[in-house]
Amino acid sequence: MKFFIDTADVAEIRDLAATGLVDGVTTNPSLIAKSGRKFLDVVQEICSIVPGPISAEVAATDYKTMLAEGHKLAKLAKNVTVKVPLTPDGLKTCKALSSEGTMVNVTLCFSAAQAILAAKAGASFISPFVGRLDDIGSDGMILIRDICAIYKQYPAFKTEVLVASVRHPIHIVESAKMGAHVATMPPNVLRQMFQHPLTDKGLAAFLADWKKTGQSILEG
């Protein structure tokens, strides 16, 4: 499973990219607005930090303007993935851009039916939002299961399932068990994956025992 970081915080991206665990980044207008910086500048800088797919979302809703914005975003760097909404105009834009060789991430997916449409439109990634479904009392993981099962039936579909709106590590683990290709998560969720009380307890015991020896690996 590939890990994308869902943020526009360049400092966070640099820090996590240094772990070697980050395969890409997803952004959206809301995340970039929080940075207080110019949209295109932020996207371009992120592309220079992480060589994998960097999702940059269009702001328009009509086909003509979305396509123009998509072309401009795609010129920023080779690893830009243009993100479009799962609407008729969004899928029309997806088809046009993907036919030109541009990676496209179709976002705001909330049903398996929508995911089928995105795959037929040539999307590189489909982004089902599990957390937002959980918020309204649905089980977001059922959507991931259904999309993965459908895509496996059709080898001609090249669209990767990108699990979005991730709220905690369990979302990631369950998605991985279902065969989802990618999970995009806020920085804090990736950091939570490192944590386990038994790891902390075991490390503390090892360090205490080592201290008793009075030795130093570097000075030995």
pLDDT tens column, 90-141: 999 999 999 999 999 999 999 999 999 999 999 999 999 999 999 999 999 9
The pLDDT value given to residue 215? 95
Distances (CA, A) of 150 to 128, 178, 214: 14, 12, 60
Catalytic-role residue among 83, 95, 201, 211 = 83
Task: Write the pLDDT tens digit of every residue in 36-60.
Answer: 899 999 999 999 999 999 999 999 9
pTM, full prediction: 0.94
Q: Could you give phi then psi for residue 104, rounded to 5 degrees?
A: -130, 135
Say whether 120 sits in a helix, a strand or coil: helix
For residue 220, pLDDT over 80 is answered with: no
83 annotated active-site: yes
Of 204, 171, 177, nearest to 190 by C-alpha is 171
Quote the strand ranges of the chain, DSSP E: 2-6, 24-26, 54-57, 80-85, 103-109, 125-128, 160-163, 182-185
The domains found in the chain, sorted by start residue, are 2-213 (3.20.20.70)
Query: What is the reported pLDDT for 157?
Result: 97
- Residue 29 confidence class, pLDDT cut points 50, 70, 90: confident
pLDDT band at 186; cut points 50, 70, 90: very high
The pLDDT mean for the chain works out to 97
CA distance 106 to 4: 15
- Residue listed under structure tokens 């996590």: 16
